[in-house]
Structure 1
Amino acid sequence: MLLVLDTATPACTAALLDEDGTLVWHFHEVMNRGHAERLMPLLDAMLDGRRATSVLVGCGPGSFTGLRVGIAAAHGLALGWGASLSGMSTLALLAASVPGDDPVGVALTGGHGELFVQQFSRAPFAAMGPVASLVPAEAARKIDAQTVAGSGAAALVAARGAGEALDILPDAAAALRLPQALRTLAPKPIYARAPDAKPKAA
């Protein structure tokens, strides 16, 4: 049994899938804050005493606090169960939620007016370049897919003056649409820019 979870965006999303990929349980709630308080009770209700043999966690980029909540929970559960643990890109998970075979751009609202952006081909599914954190005008020059998905999609499409914006967030139920290579990443945060906090000078 596979447990999938992602808390890197305002979506607190989790799914439990059987060995054949059948969706056993699914939760998807959009919230501005409170992932840490909401995640463990929902997982407790979802699992209902069951144990997963594998855990897959979204590693961002996204909210610094949110993504660490999910990763910490995934590490704790995998350790307690003796389950395997791997990571996936939150942007790839979002792209996998969009129907169709044409390339898709992903844009999530980041900090300081920037967007986390990346583009994916889907036949086969693969990243077409690295993730970047850019202001909308720069993101518009980088992402040329007609369809752009995510909380920052409207800003990117407006800056570009063309395209279709899908205001959606990552959904854990789409995880098995990712190829194996994109769901066997190291389970640690993916940062597209440096944290805001700076260490004090010695």
Structure 2
Amino acid sequence: MGERLLAIDTASIACSVALFEDGALIASEYAEIGRGHAEKLIPMIAKLPERGHASRILVNYGPGSFTGVRIGISAAKALALAWSAEIHGYNCLALVAAQALDQLDQPQPVCVAMLAGHGEYFLQNFSGTGEPSDEFASLTPEQAASRVDADVIAGSAAVELAALVGGKKHFPILPNAAQISLVSRDMKNLPAKPNYGRKPDAQPAKPV
């Protein structure tokens, strides 16, 4: 058996896992479930060959839903501890950009827009090589429309944002762990620390 890598993605309404051996995908599971990642994730991993056992683990650290990001990172850290595995994180928007670029006939800039809750979008522009070309931001739809710097829009908010800016090519893509090989090595060798993208909805109660 060669070197195995387990990829975990729970940062959006999709839940996915993928197992690679020496860089080749050997098994994967994907489902768009909305909620219930905690109940779905471990059974999905258990369906993989040898229950997903790997020497390296990659996990989507966000931006994304608070619950989804926490579940993915917590599971990845627990498995890394149990297996004495190396663990790294990757950026949700970078994966979506890479998936969109893979669908284009030729490389060109891509703007990624993901639904962020409370009517906002997580937005970031990427070059034709999949590298970020500006800073990530959580924006209202109107703010996001003014920040689009590409003729291609990808992500869960792609349809809505394309309608706002008019005439842009769009791909309503969700991140899929099976596609992680599309992301550059530098962008999937990051610390597995959560990036929620927004402040928590619930704030600690102030002392009376």
**Same fold judged by TM-score > 0.5?**
yes
User: Which of 67, 70, 79 does residue 68 from structure 1 map onto?
Assistant: 70
Look up the match of 2:12.
9
Do the aligned partners of residues 69 and 51 (structure 1) sit closer, same or farther apart at CA in structure 2, a change above 3 Å counting?
A: same
The alpha carbon displacement at 1:122 in A equals 2.8
Which of 40, 46, 65 matches 1:38? 40
Alignment of 1:105-124 (within 5 A): 105-123=111-129
Question: C-alpha displacement at 1:49, in angstroms?
Answer: 4.2
Match of 1:18 in 2: 21
Q: CA deviation at 1:188?
A: 1.3
| Number of equivalences | 200
Aligned-residue CA RMSD (Å): 1.2
Aligned to 2:202, what secondary structure does the other structure show? coil
Counterpart-to-counterpart distance in 1, 2:84 and 2:164: 47
8 Å contact kept, 1:94–1:170: yes
The aligned counterpart of 1:48 is 50
Give the one of 169, 172, 180 matched to 1:164: 169
Q: Indicate conservation of the 8 Å contact 1:137/1:160, yes or no.
A: no
Correspondence for 1:80 among 82, 85, 92: 82
Query: Is residue 46–residue 52 contact of structure 2 (8 Å, CA) maintained in 1?
Result: no
Tell me how far apart the structure 1 counterparts of residues 117 and 52 of structure 2 sit (CA, whole Å). 38
Alpha-carbon distance in structure 2 between the residues aligned to 1:13 and 1:42: 8
Q: d(CA) in 1 for partners of 2:196 and 2:52? A: 32
Matches within 5 A, 1:123-162: 123=129, 125-162=130-167
Unaligned runs of 5+ in 2: none
Superposed structure 1 runs of 4+ greater than 4 Å apart: none
Identical pairs, percent: 43
In the TM superposition, residue 7 of structure 1 has moved relative to its aligned partner by 0.3
